[in-house]
Amino acid sequence: MSTAPVPELAETATACADRLHAADRVLVASHIDADGLTSAAVADTALERAGIEHEQLFFEQLDTEAIDRLAATDYETVLFTDFGSGQLDDIVAHEDRGAFTPIVADHHQPAEAATEYHINPLLVGLNGARELSGAGAAYVLARALERDGVDNRDLAATAVVGAIGDMQDSDGELHGANAALVAEGVAAGALSEAKDLAVYGKQTRPLPKLLEYATDTYIPGISNSYAGAVEFLDELAVDCRAADEEWKRWVDLTDEERQTVASALVQHAVGRGVPAEKIERLVATTYTLTDEPTGTELRDASEFSTLLNATARYGRADVGLAVCLGDRTGALETARELLRTHRRNLSDGLTWVKEQGVTDAGHVQWFDAAEEIRATIVGIVAGMSMGTDGVDRSKPVVAFARESDTETKVSSRGTGSLVRRGLDLSVVMGEASEAVGGGGGGHDVAAGATIPVGEEEAFIEHANELVGEQLG
């Protein structure tokens, strides 16, 4: 077998792989976000190459009802990807009565119960929010599954899409075990990495749109201004239009032209008083899937992850999985249509937040979208709102959306700088939701919860106090 990509997890991954090889067939249960879909794709491909019969199920939330459903099947082995660690109490209860043998490849905070086959970076001192995603844990398992000359290193590209979708590159690049996965993907010829302009849409967006929507580092006169972006580009000594006068995309420019645009953008930002630490964020490491066509959303890991989010968040996890597994016809077209709908909904949601504003509670800021924003995308809207007028990047954002007549979905987003100061939204969401009769968790920079309808303000009081304690 090949060298383990994450040595700390090698022994556990080998035990899990041996158990899977011994199984007659396996039921794979996965989460539905980008990290969950890529986790499922990595597991599916590795099991297929290993000749292990399997079936795939997706769940938006792995609750008691979902685990009971899995236990009611006739599968003796259930592989959980991108969730399972936090639900080990329920899972192990079923294991103890012989319902199934669980194998967990996850990166979330584990519950108190323990099981033999459990791959999780947190169990070996690695950071599950920064160093290895759910897809990364599935990749570690995929490498351990290799037999008879099978090489699964190409799956590192899919795992990197999952890590990017999970915002593990929030400070500009992937670190730790994720970096080891990148190295394997590069060695396999499935990935390339480079320093480039840190904006979303370099493969697909026309240049003015690319700059208009580049708000992570807000540049006065360009960010959120199409006319400003056009004026900026027209003043450059770079031909930014194609022969038909249509705007070029970033990917259409030569390396020299990209350098010219990037340098001018930095100079523009400096001239308008953008702080140096924010200007530094204009350049980051980008990850390219080299087997995918140039100019498509599949070529860039960030755009690919957004495409996947657009499928699962609208009830079409099957479409996202099919795209991950190589369907470039019907599934990809469906995914693109879902992405168009997703973008419209995100734009409408962001407009709503701008118009309604946020409430400053002291240490956190929040908004309650009720039914105005889908519960499945309110967290993304919250993240997008940071950096817009009226939303303070020095405080985390908490967003509410109605999930049902009795439950409210809570999503929270922070920044890398806040995390470095001590912010851990996983703890905040978990403790604040528990205090009002709900439950939650996630990662330090992004986390969520479900609480009873009517407990929103009480939740904010607890969350505000907790964040105040964390940030001093």
Neighbours of 156 (CB within 10 A): 28
Q: In 167-300, where does DSSP find H-type helix?
A: 176-187, 207-212, 226-234, 255-271, 276-279
Distance of alpha carbon 140 from alpha carbon 355, whole angstroms: 45
- Supply the pLDDT for residue 415: 85
Distance of alpha carbon 37 from alpha carbon 40, whole angstroms: 5
Distance of alpha carbon 301 from alpha carbon 288, whole angstroms: 6
Decide: 201 and 213 in contact? Cβ < 8 Å.
yes
- What is the average pLDDT across 13-22? 98
Kindly tell me if the per-residue pLDDT of 441 is higher than 60: yes
Q: Which of 105, 148, 114, 84 is nearest to 6 (CA)?
A: 105
Distance of alpha carbon 366 from alpha carbon 401, whole angstroms: 11
Among 32-46, 302-316, 411-425, 437-451, top mean pLDDT goes to 32-46
- Supply the pLDDT for residue 261: 96
H or E element, residue 425: helix 425-435
- Supply the pLDDT for residue 180: 97
Distance of alpha carbon 208 from alpha carbon 226, whole angstroms: 6
Residues paired with 449 in a beta bridge: 410, 440
Distance of alpha carbon 339 from alpha carbon 236, whole angstroms: 32
- What is the average pLDDT across 423-433? 95
Distance of alpha carbon 132 from alpha carbon 96, whole angstroms: 29
Distance of alpha carbon 280 from alpha carbon 274, whole angstroms: 10
Kindly tell me if the per-residue pLDDT of 383 is higher than 60: yes
- What is the average pLDDT across 428-453? 92
- Supply the pLDDT for residue 152: 98
* Number of DSSP helices (H) and strands (E) in the chain, helices first: 18, 13
Distance of alpha carbon 304 from alpha carbon 325, whole angstroms: 13
- Supply the pLDDT for residue 217: 83
Alpha-carbon distances of 301 from 12, 52, 60, rounded to whole Å:
28, 29, 23
- Supply the pLDDT for residue 1: 43
Decide: 405 and 392 in contact? Cβ < 8 Å.
no
Share of the chain above pLDDT 90, in %: 86
Distance of alpha carbon 249 from alpha carbon 203, whole angstroms: 7
- Supply the pLDDT for residue 407: 96
Distance of alpha carbon 276 from alpha carbon 280, whole angstroms: 6
Supply the Cα-derived Rg of the chain in whole angstroms: 22
The residue length of the chain stands at 472
- What is the average pLDDT across 201-223? 91
For 104-160, how does the pLDDT look when each residue is reduced to its tens digit (9 = 90+)? 999 998 999 999 999 999 999 999 989 999 999 999 999 999 999 999 999 999 999
Kindly tell me if the per-residue pLDDT of 302 is higher than 70: yes
Distance of alpha carbon 59 from alpha carbon 33, whole angstroms: 10
Ordered structural domains, the chain, with CATH: 7-189 (3.90.1640.30), 197-345 (no CATH), 357-471 (3.10.310.40)
In the structure, what pLDDT confidence band is assigned to residue 388 with cuts at 50, 70 and 90? confident
- Supply the pLDDT for residue 464: 97
- Supply the pLDDT for residue 243: 86
What value, to the nearest 5°, has the Cα angle with vertex 387 and ends 386 and 389? 105
In the DSSP assignment, the letter for residue 401 is: E
Average pLDDT, the chain: 94
DSSP assignments along 292-310, one per residue: SPTTSTTTBHHHHHHHHHH
For 216-254, how does the pLDDT look when each residue is reduced to its tens digit (9 = 90+)? 788 999 998 999 999 999 999 999 999 888 999 999 999
Task: Decide: residue 454, CB within 10 A, 0-12 exposed, 13-18 middle, 19+ buried.
Answer: exposed
In the structure, what pLDDT confidence band is assigned to residue 2 with cuts at 50, 70 and 90? low
Kindly tell me if the per-residue pLDDT of 268 is higher than 90: yes
Q: Which of 167, 158, 140 is nearest to 292 (CA)?
A: 158
